Structure 1
Amino acid sequence: MDIGALILMGGKNSRMGGNNKGMLKYKEKTFLDCIIDIFDDFDNIYISVNNKIFDEYVGKYESKNIHIVKDIYEEVGPMGGIHSVLKCCKEKYLFVIACDMPLMSKEFVKAFCDKFERDADLFMTCNERGKLMPLGAIYSKDLLSDMEILIKNKKYKLIELIPNNKFKKIDLKELGFTDRVYHNINTPEDYKELIKSNI
């Protein structure tokens, strides 16, 4: 497969009171382990981490097909993690997800990747309101030079990549899914609601 999987773990977790969201438990597994499981068909899984937690994850998670990658640029959000992994990954493309999205499913990832057209540098879904989903999307190595320019200019939003690159989108309805798969857990209240709902 020419698409690798990237799990972003380098956030500050400030809205979660500093607790590492990837280590929260959901159905007896950590969020991180839930997400690793959905990528078991991928040849390589990359986990992007910041300098503070790098040593912890190398020892615990690194294996033959799981690679821990330290951020080159600190404090620039998802853009920094994606850039760091695109620089070193074996594949041309990465399916990128955040560690706080435990409801993402293997079925969705397969359906989305099956629809991906290789002439796109950036491939996202949009929901019924037209909102784009920048995580749970595919990014190409061809974005690297533009990413470096944006980071240098302190423009860290992923949608900043759209105007100057080959961008394509697909409606979630066409894939047969709702934006539930994109639900992310940002706060203790979000987490309590997830556990309570048992979805």
Structure 2
Amino acid sequence: MNADVFKTAVILAGGKSSRMGFDKQFLRINEVRIMEKLIHELSKEFEDIIIVTNKPEEYKASENGIRIISDEIKEIGPLSGIYGGLKESKSKYVYFIACDMPNINLNYIKYIKKVLTNSKANACVAKREGKFEPFNAFYSIDILPKVEKLISLNRRSIAGLIDIIEPIFIEENVLKKYDYSFDMFMNLNSKEDLEVYIDKQL
């Protein structure tokens, strides 16, 4: 597989942010917006970056390949963002991360690319403590019909999607080689999470 197979990365920014108390897609730390940090890091590995947002009017597409799209199907959670990202992808495999996941691990991303290059799998997802991590993961555009089917049945769970696409799972012992503390899966869901993250930056 050539690099074009992994050209697109998607940042999901459509959540309600109810636990945080404000919209996480506009979160700033030390005057740096987390979204800008994600874009900066992802641009080192991906030519095409898409932001799926419920507030597209708040963004201005830049000249460096950032595309802004809105959820085509409202009120069904992150499955809608996966649907939109896959539909707009310029590559076979699409990397997905959420806007409240501030820690990009480029070495891990490169590793997943190698895993998928040597397989015919339609996704690659991390698994730890018996649970999978739906983001910081790759999905193939080939699963788009299955995503559409789940949406038509009003089945919103990403767990339901994982069950029917048979991904490659990256197990905990491998994950620890790239990030022993699993910070690359950290979500800033609440103000307490934010405080923990800021403390780790000090």
Unaligned runs of 5+ in 2: none
- What is the alpha-carbon distance in structure 2 between the residues aligned to residue 156 and residue 138 of structure 1? 19
The residue aligned with 1:159 is 159
The residue aligned with 2:110 is 110
- What is the alpha-carbon distance in structure 1 between the residues aligned to residue 150 and residue 62 of structure 2? 30
Alpha-carbon contact 2:47-2:65 (below 8 Å) kept? yes
SS class of match (2:19):
helix
Instruction: Give, in angstroms, the shift of residue 56 of structure 1.
Output: 1.5
Instruction: Give, in angstroms, the shift of residue 25 of structure 1.
Output: 1.9
Alpha-carbon contact 1:119-1:166 (below 8 Å) kept? no
The residue aligned with 2:52 is 48
Superimposed CA distance per residue, residues 52-75 of structure 1 (whole angstroms, 9 cap, x where no aligned partner):
x11121x2x443411111111111
Instruction: Give, in angstroms, the shift of residue 101 of structure 1.
Output: 0.6
Question: Which of 188, 191, 197 is the equivalent residue of 1:185?
Answer: 188
The residue aligned with 2:42 is 39
Superimposed CA distance per residue, residues 61-109 of structure 1 (whole angstroms, 9 cap, x where no aligned partner):
4434111111111111111011012112211111100000102222222
**What is the aligned-residue RMSD (CA, Å)?**
1.8
1:126 correspondence with 2:127: yes
SS class of match (1:16):
coil
Instruction: Give, in angstroms, the shift of residue 22 of structure 1.
Output: 2.4
- What is the alpha-carbon distance in structure 2 between the residues aligned to residue 12 and residue 45 of structure 1? 22
Instruction: Give, in angstroms, the shift of residue 27 of structure 1.
Output: 4.8
Letter in 2 for 1:55: E
TM-score under structure 1 length normalisation? 0.89
- What is the alpha-carbon distance in structure 2 between the residues aligned to residue 142 and residue 113 of structure 1? 16
TM-score under structure 2 length normalisation? 0.87
Q: How does 1:135-174 map to 2 (within 5 A)?
A: 135-174=135-174
Alpha-carbon contact 2:11-2:98 (below 8 Å) kept? yes
Letter in 1 for 2:187: N
Alpha-carbon contact 2:112-2:124 (below 8 Å) kept? no
1:73 correspondence with 2:77: no
SS class of match (1:164):
helix
SS class of match (1:102):
coil
SS class of match (2:163):
coil
Superimposed CA distance per residue, residues 161-182 of structure 1 (whole angstroms, 9 cap, x where no aligned partner):
2333232111243241232210
Sequence identity percentage: 32
The residue aligned with 1:197 is 200
Instruction: Give, in angstroms, the shift of residue 193 of structure 1.
Output: 2.3
Higher mean C-alpha displacement, 151-160 vs 71-80: 151-160
Instruction: Give, in angstroms, the shift of residue 16 of structure 1.
Output: 1.2
Instruction: Give, in angstroms, the shift of residue 28 of structure 1.
Output: 4.1
SS class of match (1:162):
helix
Residues matched between the structures, number: 193
Unaligned runs of 5+ in 1: none
SS class of match (1:190):
helix
- What is the alpha-carbon distance in structure 2 between the residues aligned to residue 62 and residue 96 of structure 1? 20
Q: In structure 2, do the counterparts of structure 1 residues 172 and 115 end up closer, same or farther at CA, with 3 Å as the change threshold?
A: farther
